[in-house]
Structures are given as C-alpha cells and as structure tokens.
Structure 1
Amino acid sequence: MAAWLFSGLSLGVVTTVITVSYLLYSGLLTHVTVATGPPPIKKVTIAYKFRRGPYRNCWSLYVETSKIGPGLPQIGLFYDDPNKIPEPHCRYAVGSILSEEENEVDEEVLKRYETAGYKVFSFPEVTHAVTASFPYRTLLSIFLRLIKVVRPLQRHMLENKKKPAFPLIEIYKDNLIQFMVPLNEHNKFGVPEVWHGTVISGDLLPPLW
C-alpha cells in the first residue's frame, strides 16, 4: 500500500513539474513590453487569403500557409475589434511574407501560393508603430499571446488614443510572435478585399481599437 501511494505521489509530482515547465517555456511569465517606435518589419510583399468571420477561424489559414511555404514568416492582419463589430463581419487576412525590403520574390514559391488561391500584396515601410513581441515555442504560446500581448496592446491603445492606429498585425518569425499596429500609412495596409462592401470615412479604415 505504501509503495503504491509513494508511486502515485511521485507520478503526481513529475506531472506537475512537467506541466509547470511547459507553461514557463511557453511564455507564461514572459514580461511583455508595449512600446512605440520602429516596426519589426519594413516593406514586405505577402501572399494572403482574406476572410470575414470569427478570428479563431484564422488558424486553418496559418496551417495552410505553413504547408505551402515552410520556413517562410507568417503574417496575420486583423482589421476590426470583435468587441465592437459582430464576429461574422470581422475582417482579416492571413498569409506568408514572400520578400522583405528590396529582396526579390521567389517565383517558384509565388506560383505555389497562386495555385492555392492566394493573392499578392505589398505593404510600405512605416516609421512609427505600437509594437510588442512574445516567444513562439509551443502551440500553447499561441493561446498565451492573447493574454500576455493582445490585451496589454488593447489597454495601451485605449490609454493613448491620440492618433488612429490599425490594423493589428502579427508576424511569426524567428521563434517570435511579433506584433505591430501602424501609426501612419494605415490605408496602405488594407488588402483590396477590405474595402469591398465597407463604409469608409475619408480614406482610412475604421480604427481597430
């Protein structure tokens, strides 16, 4: 009986240690700094698919892009605040970064994306953005980013609502999830589908926050 009890306690301790270690490695206690300054990416060309609906549905596109272009940085652009816009109408685009700055796009890679129904679009370099980053080490990191990064970003934007800032952009690159919200050139980050069927005030997208 004592041996069975000791074995059970040992298993419980090992399970707890493994669970805690996994949480810590995934970024549970990572300190996230939200700052304003240069963005993590400059001019980029992306292959993307546009969707409307709940943001949680975006992961099927992330999986798809990772299969088409393994090793390429992935990017997601989220144009609406789901707390203000009904989920079925939320707009987002997900894809891969094909080239950065003046680097040329690999034609073979581009053809694979176009064959799979992806479109191509380029974003300009911006000088100022709200930025943050989070380690991308496990699948749990993806869920932790909502608590550790997205919510602090929301608070920061609400507390410093002096200028329009949108969309929310996340980049999966070099074992990091990098976030940026442009503070200028906003309308140039709207893929063409964003403008379809949308009432626009002036030449800018509705603010994300």
Structure 2
Amino acid sequence: MIIVNSPHNPTGSVFDEHDIERLTALTRNTDIVILSDEVYEHVVFDGGIHHSMACHPALAERSVIVSSFGKTYHVTGWRVGYCMAPAALMDEIRKVHQFMVFSADTPMQYAFATALNNPQSYLGLAEFYQQKRDLLAAALQKSRFELLPSRGSFFMLARFSGFSNESDNDFAVRLIREAKVATIPLSAFYSDGTNTGIIRLSFSKDNDTLQEGARRLCLV
C-alpha cells in the first residue's frame, strides 16, 4: 500500500500532473493499493487543480479515497467523512467497518445530503481560505519567520531556525507560554521526531484572530 495526501497536511503541497504520472508509473503492473487522503480536496489555491485519484482511471481502479464532510462544511466536530473505492475493495472495507462504527446519526446524514445538492456551499472554499492565507502571510511580512509556500489545505509552515536554535517542540511550547499562540511543531509529523526548525500555522480562524496572532508572532 502507498498512502498519499493531497492537498497535504501539514505542508500545504498539492499533487500536480507530474506527480500523478510518477504514481501511475510506479504502480503499473503491480497489486499496490493506494490510500488517498483527499479531505482538503476543495481547498486548492492560486487557480490550482485538485488531482483526485478518482479522475485517473489507472489509479482509480486501485485506490481507496477518503474525504471529510467536516472539513468541507466547517463542522469538523461532527466527525463524518466518506470513503470511495472499487466494488471489490469496498466489500472488504465494509467487513471491517461494521465492527468499528455502529452508525452515523440520521440528522447528520440528512444535513450532508442536503448540502451536497448545493455545490455553491463548497465551491467557494478555495477563495475563502486563500483570502485567509494571504491575510496571514501579509501580516507576518515584518516578522522574523520564513514562510513556506502553501498551495492548498488551511495550513502554512513557518521556519524559525534563522533566529533560534531551539527545537521546534521547545519553540512551540515557548510560543504558547509567552505569546499565547498555539502552533504545531513539524517534528510531530515525523515518526522519529526529527527536529526541523519549522512550525505549522493554521489560518482556519476569523480574520481578527489571524491579525492578532500575527501581531504577537511579529514580536517574537
């Protein structure tokens, strides 16, 4: 199995045509299954395109695609998502799923069914979050952080190693204690806790909160 995630958390990177071609070549004439995490499928910036495994027949036939209603409709606390795969794979997934999850409650299912009939409820997500990405980036221009490009999702990476020798974990803890700003050290995403000198910022907040958070980070 190969596990992929695009748009990617935490880096904000997005698969392009070249990535799809490489993945197709890598899996051709194999029995490799692809698990594709596409929960940020509607959050791609700067006119970019989300390349779902479902849109590429050679990959669709071997892919399990997971996505999230919570991310799409701003209700992450509801914890409802969905899975798509070829019939043979779905048969096996259902065998496991029936022992892991009893049910999704009826009101949520009706709510999402209604929302899906209104494409405008999610087609504006890219513009909505791009405005927040740009607002945060502009507000941090005079900070000492080096901001790394975010092409999708609602996360942005910020490098601090140019002005601090702290581990990213220690730096994130200090930000909470001194600046009252919560970030995620990038090492949390590594199995071995590799120190990166980078933290993850989220811009899925109201604009006033983003401005105030940036103001505090500019003082670090």
- TM category, shorter: under 0.3
Q: As a proportion of its length, which structure holds more strand? A: 1
Q: As a proportion of its length, which structure holds more helix? A: 2
Q: Report 1 or 2 for greater relative contact order, CA contacts < 8 Å, sequence distance ≥ 6.
A: 1
When the two structures are superposed, what TM-score results if normalisation uses the length of structure 1?
Answer: 0.25
When the two structures are superposed, what TM-score results if normalisation uses the length of structure 2?
Answer: 0.24
